[in-house]
């Protein structure tokens, strides 16, 4: 920890500061301590206490690394497996998870979060970082086919000064349902239902931060139209597609490439 001078093999040097607890972690009340332990045959994750650290699990056959980062809005974990016990992972099988802090403490049978989250009845918060080379995508990263952003309060880790920066609150991984409709005025609308954790995060941010939504890896903004609760009590978020016909067609293609659009995302009221 502290200030270091780092130099490469060509003699080029720069100063680098490593802190035990970063400024944004202090603001969230994070204490130093690895947020992962093993007890009673279970791997125990404390997603709320997401202290930024690097965890390595080595066996006789393989090497697994977890890069854990305390993000602005969620605990961010990169899963980096290697089939060789002595060689760090490449980028073929790694994936990235953004897990809401509210998920709290959970026990899993393995460190493979993409599998364990679903076994525990939780939403799938993990995704491939990069699409395969052979993937055919209309535009942009698949997880960002739909994305909701907040202009969140952040901290400079060197000076401790506050500033605001755009951070993803929810994206395609969080979408349970997407519906495309045209209203009476002719405006084409996108309505999405998010998993309950992402829904709560978006509503919290709408109350205190500037929030925006876009499609196709951030290329095409959505206009905010409103929110409504369905018969089950879930919140639906409605946005307008671009009035430009060609752009709207591209937005539809990006969305449909990741999820089958429905006629409606509202749970109907049950009859008496």
Whether the per-residue pLDDT at 85 is higher than 70: the answer is no
For residue 133, name the pLDDT band (cuts at 50, 70, 90): very low
Indicate if 123 and 33 belong to the same structural domain.
yes
Domain assignment present for residue 133? The answer is no
Indicate if 92 and 165 belong to the same structural domain.
no
Indicate if 78 and 147 belong to the same structural domain.
no
- We report the CATH number of the domain holding residue 204 as 3.30.1360
The predicted structure's pLDDT at residue 21: 74
Task: Measure the CA–CA gap between 222 and 89, rounded to whole angstroms.
Answer: 37
Domain assignment present for residue 75? The answer is yes
Indicate if 176 and 90 belong to the same structural domain.
no
Residue % of the chain over a pLDDT of 90: 58
The predicted structure's pLDDT at residue 60: 77
For residue 86, name the pLDDT band (cuts at 50, 70, 90): low
Indicate if 118 and 149 belong to the same structural domain.
no
Domain enclosing residue 241, as ranges: 142-256
Indicate if 105 and 149 belong to the same structural domain.
no
Angle at 53 between CA 51 and CA 57, to 5 degrees: 125
Domain assignment present for residue 124? The answer is yes
- Among 78, 96, 128, give the residue marking a domain's end: 128
Whether the per-residue pLDDT at 247 is higher than 50: the answer is yes
Q: Are 190 and 239 in contact (CB under 8 A)?
A: yes
Which of 29-38, 45-54, 235-244 has the lowest average pLDDT? 29-38
Q: What is the pTM of this model?
A: 0.83
Whether the per-residue pLDDT at 134 is higher than 50: the answer is no
The whole-number average pLDDT for the span 255-265 is 93
For residue 272, name the pLDDT band (cuts at 50, 70, 90): very low
Domain assignment present for residue 77? The answer is yes
Indicate if 117 and 188 belong to the same structural domain.
no
Domain assignment present for residue 70? The answer is yes
Whether the per-residue pLDDT at 38 is higher than 50: the answer is yes
Whether the per-residue pLDDT at 23 is higher than 90: the answer is no
Average pLDDT of every residue of the chain: 86
Whether the per-residue pLDDT at 117 is higher than 80: the answer is yes
- Beta strand segments in the chain, E: 2-7, 13-18, 36-39, 42-46, 53-58, 63-70, 74-82, 95-100, 105-108, 126-128, 146-155, 162-171, 175-182, 188-194, 211-215, 220-229, 235-240
Residues 6+ away with beta carbon under 8 Å from 118: 124
Indicate if 153 and 248 belong to the same structural domain.
yes
Indicate if 59 and 149 belong to the same structural domain.
no
Domain assignment present for residue 270? The answer is no
Domain assignment present for residue 262? The answer is no
Three-state secondary structure of 149-213: EEEEEEECCCCCCEEEEEEEEEEHHHEEEEEEEECCCCCEEEEEEECHHHHHHHHHHHCCCCEEE
The whole-number average pLDDT for the span 133-157 is 76
Domain assignment present for residue 267? The answer is no
Indicate if 91 and 188 belong to the same structural domain.
no
Tell me how many domains the chain contains: 2
Indicate if 108 and 198 belong to the same structural domain.
no
Indicate if 98 and 161 belong to the same structural domain.
no
Whether the per-residue pLDDT at 218 is higher than 80: the answer is yes
Which of 78-82, 90-94, 170-174 has the lowest average pLDDT? 90-94
Tens of pLDDT, residues 194-208: 999 999 999 999 989
């Amino acid at each position: 920890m502290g200030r270091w001078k780092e130099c490469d093999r060509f003699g080029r040097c720069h100063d680098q500061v490593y802190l035990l607890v970063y400024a944004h972690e202090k603001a969230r009340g994070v204490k130093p301590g690895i947020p992962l332990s093993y007890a009673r045959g279970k791997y125990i994750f404390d997603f709320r206490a997401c202290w930024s650290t690097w965890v390595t699990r080595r066996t006789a056959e393989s090497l697994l690394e977890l890069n854990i980062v305390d993000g602005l809005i969620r605990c961010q974990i990169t899963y980096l497996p290697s089939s060789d016990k002595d060689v760090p992972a490449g980028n073929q099988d790694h994936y990235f998870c953004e897990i809401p802090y509210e998920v709290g403490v959970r026990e899993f049978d393995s460190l493979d979060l993409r599998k364990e989250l679903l076994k525990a009845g939780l939403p799938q918060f993990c995704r491939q970082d990069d699409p395969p080379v052979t993937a055919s995508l209309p535009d942009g990263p698949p997880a960002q086919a739909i994305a909701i952003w907040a202009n969140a309060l952040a901290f400079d880790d060197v000076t401790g000064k506050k500033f605001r920066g755009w951070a993803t609150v929810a994206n395609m991984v969080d979408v349970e349902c997407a519906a495309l409709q045209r209203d009476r005025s002719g405006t084409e609308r996108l309505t999405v239902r998010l998993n309950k954790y992402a829904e709560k995060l978006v509503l919290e941010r709408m109350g205190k931060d500037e929030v925006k939504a876009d499609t196709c890896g951030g290329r095409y903004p959505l206009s905010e139209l409103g929110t409504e609760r369905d018969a089950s009590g879930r919140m639906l978020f409605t946005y307008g597609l671009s009035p430009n016909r060609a752009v709207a067609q591209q937005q539809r293609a990006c969305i449909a490439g990741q999820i089958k659009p429905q006629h409606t995302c509202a749970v109907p009221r049950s009859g008496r």
